[in-house]
Amino acid sequence: MPSRTGSHSPTGIGKSLPERGLLLLMVLVLLEGSVIPLGAASSPDTGHQKNVDNHKAEGEKNHTKKAFPVLDLDYRHIQTPFEISLWVLLASVMKLGFHMIPRLPGIVPESCLLITVGLLVGGLIKLAGEKVPPVLDSQLFFLCLLPPIILDAGYFLPIRPFMENLGTILMFAVVGTLWNAFFIGGLLYAVCQIQPANPNELHQLEILPCLLFGSIISAVDPVAVLAVFEEIHINELLHILVFGESLLNDAVTVVLYHLFEEYSAAGTVTVLDGFLGIISFLVVSLGGILVGAIYGILAAFTSRFTSHTRVIEPLFVFVYSYMAYLSAEMFHLSGIMALIACGAVMRPYVEANISHKSHTTIKYFLKMWSSVSETLIFIFLGVATVDGPHHWNWTFVTVTVILCLVSRVIGVVGLTCVINKFRIVKLTTKDQFIVAYGGMRGAIAFSLGFLLKKEEFPMREMFLTAIITVIFFTVFVQGMTIKPLVELLAVKKKQEAKRSINEEIHTQFLDHLLTGIEDICGHYGHHHWKDKLNRFNKKYVKKCLIAGERSKEPQLIAFYHKMEMKQAIDLVESGGGVNLPSAVPSTVSMQNIQPKKPPPAKPVEKALPKMTKGREEEIRQILRSNLQKTRQRLRSYNRHTLVADPYEDGFSELLIKKQKMIALEKKIKDMNYYLTVPAAPPDSPTMCRARLASGRGTDFKPAQQQRGNKISPDPQSYSSKPAMDRVPTIQVDLASPQSPDSVNLMDEFRRADQQEEDQGLTMKAPSGQSGFNRPGEADRGREQQKLTRCLSDPGPSADEEEEEEPFLP
């Protein structure tokens, strides 16, 4: 997952004015946050609100006695949203602040800093004499703070490594957590019993509460893992192992927690209960996944119809996922697994259906929410620590901490021995160490402990203290030291994520190869089932869930398309720098973006007003610089449509233009275009006109053909001039978003090895015959350059304006 931390501040030691301002702002927010909420009466439902402070009529400070209160202060009215916003603001400003401090983000992970801030804020509140709000109230935590983080994780879960390592992950998650729970719980009980020094309190501790405690504390926490692992950038395998484990152990935790909580009252657990527990585990996990998958499919199906209302597309993703979570929680199934399943299931289909903008929106919203959530969680952890109530018991706490570490190490090592027998790529000792060391506990454990009722569990406070200590230990000590340790042990880091088209092709090829070999060996392995699933997916599922043409699009094309988009976006963003990478004249994207019907004129019109003078100049610069070598004269190009907003739907045209430009540049070098090319059969004017009329407006004739070029009266298209000699002209065809004509393009490339007619940027030299004066167009000097194409068939189009018409069909 991409790091949520911002870039480090470039400033050095001295604090400049903006930073001082920021610091001041932080302090103000802190003060405000702690002092203001004092005024209001506590709201009746503690379940929802964070700050339920008792009142001092704080408002009285600001009252001015007037006959008629022109200005009034009514804090109570807006108290809750105000306080929520204040907390969120505090969290965000803190985040900002940390990255301004030089060097600190490198040493201390963000989670530690945030907990410290939470401690500070809690301390401030306490100092002010107020009751600290129960911020880590379980309702709030599980219903509001946790889902965004998990959804973010699930939606962007790298499916391939996850599935490849699923067996290992499940082993760690299920067996590892069970082992941890029983080991810690059991040994704690034993220690408590034999502890002679404090006979009073520890002896009271029954086995079942101990086991309950063990199950709470044993689960690796996804929030903490994410927060730390994001900063250390280890290789994908380890990341997915630890992270996957933290996600999947939720089911185990849920079952164990409920089991022990239920039966703590009863006092005993029978074999039957144990058996029921196992069944319950299967129900919880599989049920959660099922619920998530159902909602995921619903979301994918809904997204199929959103082509006319693009703006609410992201909403579907969020709402369906949240409902999946809530539905799972309703049945006491594993909400986390539901959320992961929902995100993972819906993603491939939704992404094929939604627009590029929606995709970006979803991505950034998810990142934003999860980032804020995470920050808030850590701050609240700090605040809740200050709050207490604490009951410190040296034995209990230290034994817990030690046992956590020991059991984790034993668990990982033991399981790896078993797992390595089944793995192709074995886990080395270094890997095992990182997995063991990365098992951090976090806020989930705390909230689960918080949920315990005092009446049933008299040792609740002791539990909470111990939990907090373990959390602090793992986050601070392990979190801070893992980075140097990773460096020290030279653990493989995450590799550059850029995948090349070659890798994609060859990976698919190898998949097929291995499937074939497995079939030859008669061995129904990994590849076999994956292949079967892919076939099923392609045949049935994709047809239902993906709108229109995209359903048939093979993965490779989608990937290629994505790559081209990315490259073109970079090109445009960088101002189209001179060193353009060679790219293929790609017409692929055209077909994949638009449905087969003629595209609406809307995207074009939208593009028109956006073109500013400066942009225009920029574009011309680009064109000129890139085509200098070919000595083309910029005769005409459709400046209004050349560079649209790259994120516009009509972006595909831009893509093609750029690529054509580049390819042309390359090809022109090999071309002998001083025209000794034999004439090719002319395009029939009718065909040309037909093409234009159909709204595609590309006039795509190979240069070697004598064109009876039509200047189409159709304002929505533009035609290129017919050429008598075949000169390579670079046609900016900004027009056609989709052209099966592109088919011909390649053929023409092949046929005409001496020239090419590019549909794309049309920089045509001015024709000798018709004086087309493009206002403000590029130089018109060399009229007689062989690059021109003359009208072979003057026809009706002789004095019509041509492709300079700034229209996109």
Binding residues for other proteins, per CB under 8 A? 164, 422, 424-426, 495-496, 500-503, 505-523, 525-528, 531, 535, 552-554, 556-557, 560, 582-588, 591, 740, 742-743, 745-746
Query: Considering beta carbons, is residue 331 or 559 the nearer one to other proteins?
Result: 559
Contact 674, 724 (CB under 8 A): no
Tell me: cis bond preceding 389? Omega within 30 of 0 counts: yes
Shortest separation between residue 492's beta carbon and other proteins, angstroms: 11
Query: Considering beta carbons, is residue 463 or 560 the nearer one to other proteins?
Result: 560
Provide the β-strand partners of residue 234.
493
C-alpha 513/C-alpha 245 separation (Å) is 31
Query: Considering beta carbons, is residue 221 or 564 the nearer one to other proteins?
Result: 564
Contact 322, 147 (CB under 8 A): yes
Residue identified by tokens 């600001």 is: 62
Residue 124 tokens, joined: 């401030």
Encode 10-40: b = buried (16+ Cβ within 10 Å), e = exposed: eeeeeeeeebeebeeebeebbeebbebbbbb
Contact 701, 757 (CB under 8 A): yes
Measured from the Cβ of residue 200, the count of other Cβ atoms closer than 10 Å reads: 7
Shortest separation between residue 242's beta carbon and other proteins, angstroms: 19
Query: Considering beta carbons, is residue 129 or 522 the nearer one to other proteins?
Result: 522
Cα dihedral 691, 697, 700, 701, rounded to 10, equals: 60
Contact 735, 761 (CB under 8 A): no
Angle at 466 between CA 462 and CA 472, to 5 degrees: 145
| 3-state class (DSSP) for residue 389 | coil
Looking at residue 809, the DSSP 8-state letter turns out to be: -
Shortest separation between residue 745's beta carbon and other proteins, angstroms: 6
Shortest separation between residue 431's beta carbon and other proteins, angstroms: 13
Cα dihedral 55, 56, 60, 61, rounded to 10, equals: -120
Query: Considering beta carbons, is residue 517 or 798 the nearer one to other proteins?
Result: 517
Query: Considering beta carbons, is residue 317 or 568 the nearer one to other proteins?
Result: 568
Residue 618 tokens, joined: 């920029």
Query: Considering beta carbons, is residue 658 or 774 the nearer one to other proteins?
Result: 658
Shortest separation between residue 477's beta carbon and other proteins, angstroms: 33
Shortest separation between residue 512's beta carbon and other proteins, angstroms: 5
Residue 151 half-sphere exposure, CB side, CA atoms within 13 Å? 30
Query: Considering beta carbons, is residue 175 or 584 the nearer one to other proteins?
Result: 584
C-alpha 528/C-alpha 172 separation (Å) is 25
Bridge-based pairing of strands 729-732 and 761-763 is antiparallel
Contact 177, 252 (CB under 8 A): yes
Residue identified by tokens 């201390």 is: 108
Shortest separation between residue 748's beta carbon and other proteins, angstroms: 10
Burial class from Cβ neighbours inside 10 Å (0-12, 13-18, 19+) for residue 433 reads: middle
Shortest separation between residue 518's beta carbon and other proteins, angstroms: 6
Shortest separation between residue 360's beta carbon and other proteins, angstroms: 24
Contact 133, 51 (CB under 8 A): yes
C-alpha 592/C-alpha 586 separation (Å) is 11
C-alpha 132/C-alpha 147 separation (Å) is 25
Query: Considering beta carbons, is residue 502 or 579 the nearer one to other proteins?
Result: 502
Shortest separation between residue 695's beta carbon and other proteins, angstroms: 20
Measured from the Cβ of residue 366, the count of other Cβ atoms closer than 10 Å reads: 23
Shortest separation between residue 313's beta carbon and other proteins, angstroms: 26
Shortest separation between residue 702's beta carbon and other proteins, angstroms: 14
Shortest separation between residue 161's beta carbon and other proteins, angstroms: 10
C-alpha 788/C-alpha 36 separation (Å) is 76
Query: Considering beta carbons, is residue 305 or 524 the nearer one to other proteins?
Result: 524
Angle at 594 between CA 588 and CA 600, to 5 degrees: 135
Shortest separation between residue 622's beta carbon and other proteins, angstroms: 21
Shortest separation between residue 663's beta carbon and other proteins, angstroms: 8
Q: How far is CA 795 from CA 702, 712, 798, in A?
A: 20, 11, 6
Query: Considering beta carbons, is residue 596 or 610 the nearer one to other proteins?
Result: 596
Residue 765 tokens, joined: 């030299």
Query: Considering beta carbons, is residue 550 or 639 the nearer one to other proteins?
Result: 550
Query: Considering beta carbons, is residue 582 or 684 the nearer one to other proteins?
Result: 582
Q: Tally the residues of the chain.
A: 809
Contact 371, 98 (CB under 8 A): no
C-alpha 748/C-alpha 475 separation (Å) is 63
Query: Considering beta carbons, is residue 71 or 497 the nearer one to other proteins?
Result: 497
Backbone dihedral angles phi then psi of residue 546, each to the nearest 5 degrees: -110, 135
Shortest separation between residue 747's beta carbon and other proteins, angstroms: 8
Q: Where are the beta strands (DSSP E) in 409-483?
A: none
Query: Considering beta carbons, is residue 507 or 574 the nearer one to other proteins?
Result: 507
Residue identified by tokens 């790219």 is: 583
Three state DSSP letters for 192-241: HHHCCCCCCCHHHCCHHHHHHHHHHHHCCCHHHHHHHHHHHCECHHHHHH
Shortest separation between residue 536's beta carbon and other proteins, angstroms: 13
Query: Considering beta carbons, is residue 428 or 784 the nearer one to other proteins?
Result: 428
Query: Considering beta carbons, is residue 430 or 528 the nearer one to other proteins?
Result: 528
Q: In sequence order, what are the residues at sequence separation of 6 or more whose Cβ sits closer than 8 angstroms to the Cβ of residue 509?
A: none
